[in-house]
Amino acid sequence: MTLLTFRFAPSPNGALHLGHAYSALLNQKLARTAGGRLLLRIEDIDTARCTPELEAGIYRDLEWLGLEWERPVRRQSGHFADYAGLLDRLVQEGLVYPAFMSRGEIRAFIADSGKAASWPRDPDGAPLYPAVDKALPDKERQRRIADGAPFSWRLDMRAATARAGEGLCWTEFTDETLSASRQVEAQPQAWGDVVIARRDVPTSYHLAVVADDALQGISHVVRGMDLYRATGVQRLLQELLGFPAPRHFHHRLILGPDGRKLSKSFRDTGLAALREAGATPGDVRRAVGLE
Ligand code: GLU
């Protein structure tokens, strides 16, 4: 039997809070129960926002919590060539296209369209990318690129879903014990032409996650409910790239005293702040319901 493999994959663009502690400890508990592996992955493709200090803080917080993970830790910023290779496959297959509009230009385009109120939005609330670049003649595209115009690579969602075929699903466990599961329809179309590679690096969150989960043999993706809908896009990319589909459990989110999702700037629930205020790892476990 192959070992079940779990991962905790924080981004060092802020300090860890109680929500991360819950996610990390739940992955550890599930890996131990299954006699499986726990990997830590540092998702630092955003080279402007991720810093070595924040990364060091993650290791400090996790060690303090008593998390044990395998070494070496995979840091995504060290593997841009891997992602570039996968991106190239999608380019060759005509499933991505260069997209020239910046966020500001997208907003302006939508405002000018006279359809701002009814413009479709993705599950995170961002407007779907207007289909204008897809209509650009190849010559114009080449000219812009040769002129040094910045661009990202976006998935041609229509072509991609046609390639993947009908009925794309993922397996979602129904509770923390992972004893029962159901099939969830992926519905990646809700995201429109998502970014597959950003302007500055040859990958995006989605591509890097899918690449690493496959490369690292992750069998179980256990992460917060906030990423539930993103799983549809990731499932599609797995299908297009010929990667296996890990099983998923999207866990409850730990909410702040105001009933809202915790954010990295939410000081009182930051693990370092709690530690400095005298909290113990046991207090953290109790606070997240994992004694
Ligand atoms: N790096 C992502 C985050 O910190 C999590 C990615 C994942 O678990 O798939 O939100």
Task: Choose which residue among 7, 206, 209, 250 to substitute to test ligand 1 binding: the one with the highest number of ligand atoms within 8 A of its C-beta.
Answer: 209
Q: Write out residues with Cβ below 6 Å of ligand 1.
A: 9-11, 43, 209, 223, 227
Q: Which of 62, 65, 84, 85 has the alpha carbon at shortest distance from 73? A: 62
Three-state SS for 170? strand
- The rounded Å distance from CA 71 to ligand 1 centre is 19
Closest-lying ligand 1 atom to the alpha carbon of residue 8: 8
Q: Alpha-carbon distance 108 to 125, whole Å?
A: 17
181 — phi, psi (to 5°)?
-145, 170
Does 87 map to a domain? yes
Does 113 map to a domain? yes
- The rounded Å distance from CA 11 to ligand 1 centre is 7
Does 30 map to a domain? no
State the residue range of the domain holding 118. Answer: 80-211
Q: Alpha-carbon distance 248 to 112, whole Å?
A: 41
Does 192 map to a domain? yes
- Atom 6 of ligand 1, residue of closest alpha carbon: 9
Does 155 map to a domain? yes
Query: What's the structural domain count of the chain?
Result: 1
Does 281 map to a domain? no
Looking up residue 192, the CATH number of its domain turns out to be 3.90.800.10
Q: Alpha-carbon distance 68 to 135, whole Å?
A: 51
Does 204 map to a domain? yes
Q: Per-residue confidence of the chain (291 residues) as pLDDT tens digits? A: 679 999 999 999 999 999 999 999 999 999 999 999 999 999 999 999 999 999 999 999 999 999 999 999 999 999 999 999 999 999 999 999 999 999 999 999 999 999 999 999 999 999 999 999 988 999 999 999 999 999 999 999 999 999 999 999 999 999 999 999 999 999 999 999 999 999 999 999 999 999 999 999 999 999 999 999 999 999 999 999 999 999 999 999 998 777 777 766 556 689 999 999 999 999 999 999 998
The pTM of the full predicted model, rounded to 2 decimals, is 0.95
Contact at 8 Å (CB) between 189 and 196? no
Helices marked H in 138-264:
138-146, 157-164, 205-215, 230-241
Pairing of β 152-155 and β 195-197? antiparallel
Does 71 map to a domain? no
